[in-house]
């Protein structure tokens, strides 16, 4: 049987075979992070009492880059931290009997601090909810802001980012992959089919 180019089966098959799209290459990611660093300082009215916290895994590396940019621009030392939200997930029972727990490294107290949570991709909002729950164990910040490299939409919870590097419309059958040179040996943000290798 011959399938014409207008055949819905062929159109659906071709759509599923779409090639990955580069949303940000290394240079664009660098420019985006520089802009985001400026926006963090503006949002917080400076750097006093600022604590920048990355969510494991790639959020930690992005947070470290943002801290270095802010420190260079403002000639200050910025307190930094890392969160592993594994034990705060609302789907922990589905992870398995022995979840791999990473490090959480924060100042002894966050009381009165202006905390900026950094993550790579904002999707359902569940990771951020877990991060907020964990932060509550370390005190009561005066403000918590959310900074993400990519907002892909698809929220299941009423959570929004205060600073976004790039906003993209992504269908449920697609994924956003963030590559960080410290982890992946390259910097890029790629849009790909969910089931693509």
d(CA 89, CA 79): 25
Give the model's pLDDT for residue 3: 45
The rounded radius of gyration (Å) of the Cα atoms in the chain is 19
Question: What are the domain boundaries of the chain?
Answer: 23-193
Q: Give 12's contacts (C-beta < 8 A, 6+ positions apart).
A: none
Q: Which residues of the chain have pLDDT under 50?
A: 1-5, 9-15, 17
pLDDT reported for residue 97: 59
Residue 178's pLDDT is 97
User: Residue 189 contacts by C-beta under 8 Å, 6 or more apart in sequence?
Assistant: 22, 23, 24, 29, 149, 150, 166, 176, 177, 178, 179
Architecture of the domain delimited by 23-193: 3-Layer(aba) Sandwich (3.40)
Q: What is the pLDDT of residue 93?
A: 52
Backbone angles phi and psi of 33, in degrees to 5? -65, -35
Identify the pLDDT of residue 1: 42
67 sits in which H/E element: helix 58-74
Cβ neighbourhood burial of 102 (10 Å; 0-12, 13-18, 19+): middle
Average model confidence (pLDDT) for the chain?
A: 88
- As beta bridge partners, residue 114 has 50, 143
What is the per-residue pLDDT for 5?
47
- Per-residue buried b or exposed e for 50-64, using 16+ beta carbons within 10 Å of the residue's own CB: bbbbbbbebbbbbbb
Give pLDDT, residue 10.
Answer: 42
Contacts of 144 by beta carbon, 8 Å cutoff, 6+ apart: 115, 116, 117, 132, 135
Burial class of residue 46 in the structure, from the number of CB atoms within 10 Å of its CB (0-12 exposed, 13-18 middle, 19+ buried): exposed
pLDDT of residue 136: 94
**Amino acid 14: pLDDT:** 43
Percent of the chain with pLDDT over 70: 84
Q: What is the model's pLDDT at position 57?
A: 85
Specify which residues 80 forms β-bridges with.
Answer: 52
């Amino acid at each position: 049987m011959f399938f014409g180019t207008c055949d819905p089966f062929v159109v659906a098959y071709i759509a599923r075979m779409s090639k990955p799209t580069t949303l940000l290459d290394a240079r664009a990611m660098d420019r985006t992070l520089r802009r985001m660093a400026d926006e963090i300082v503006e949002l917080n009215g400076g750097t006093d009492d600022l604590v920048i916290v990355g969510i494991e895994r790639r959020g930690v590396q992005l947070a470290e880059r943002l801290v270095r940019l802010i420190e260079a621009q403002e000639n200050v030392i910025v307190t930094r931290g890392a969160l592993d939200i594994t034990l705060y997930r609302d789907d922990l029972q589905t992870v398995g009997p022995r979840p791999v727990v990473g490090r959480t490294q924060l100042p002894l107290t966050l009381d009165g601090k202006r905390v900026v949570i950094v993550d790579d991709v904002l999707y359902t909002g569940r990771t951020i909810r877990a991060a907020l729950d964990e932060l509550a164990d370390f005190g009561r910040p005066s403000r918590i802001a959310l900074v993400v490299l990519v907002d892909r939409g698809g929220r299941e919870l009423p959570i929004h980012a205060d600073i976004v590097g790039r906003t993209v419309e992504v269908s449920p059958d697609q994924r956003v992959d963030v590559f960080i040179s410290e982890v992946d040996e390259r910097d890029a943000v790629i849009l790909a089919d969910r089931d693509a290798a």
